[in-house]
Structure 1
């Protein structure tokens, strides 16, 4: 998994977000502190499926995407990890490029 590619889609100056545990990410560095170690724990993605995807275009520079997801992966230690939940992404177009300015996640129980 390529963390740097993932972060290339995020506006590092404007980003804020909300984790599935209810904690805020008030900067891209707070998100990076969680994502990079998590990506490093993954050996192989077995399934990553997005369903119930809806995009709401707010204006010519703002769009909101919501989705549900299901995933399964083999961890570096050989264990199988599975999860499901939902997410919201807020995209903003600045300088001609669409970048994420907010992400929120939730886990299905």
Structure 2
């Protein structure tokens, strides 16, 4: 029983540290990339994405062309501007790193 309490206390401390480290993310738009089409001639990717803001579960899909590659199924934070070119952070990387998943 003592080991369980210690484990829960450690897990809670790690969770609180993680939440405090990523708390700033709530100030930026979050987008989930539904699909992407790479155009090697122009060097752009056309993406279909959904804005993940608020509690509403029905969100319209928007389309935009961006510079460089952007993979479908990713969730990203828009830092700096409103265009997807301003995507800087892919949340899957935070999840895998902080939660110890993957390689």
Whose helix fraction is larger, Structure 1's or Structure 2's? Answer: 2
TM norm. shorter chain > 0.5: no
Q: What is the TM-score when the length of structure 2 is the normalising length?
A: 0.30
Q: What is the TM-score when the length of structure 1 is the normalising length?
A: 0.29
Whose strand fraction is larger, Structure 1's or Structure 2's? Answer: 1
Task: Using CA pairs under 8 Å that are at least 6 residues apart, name the structure with larger relative contact order, 1 or 2.
Answer: 1
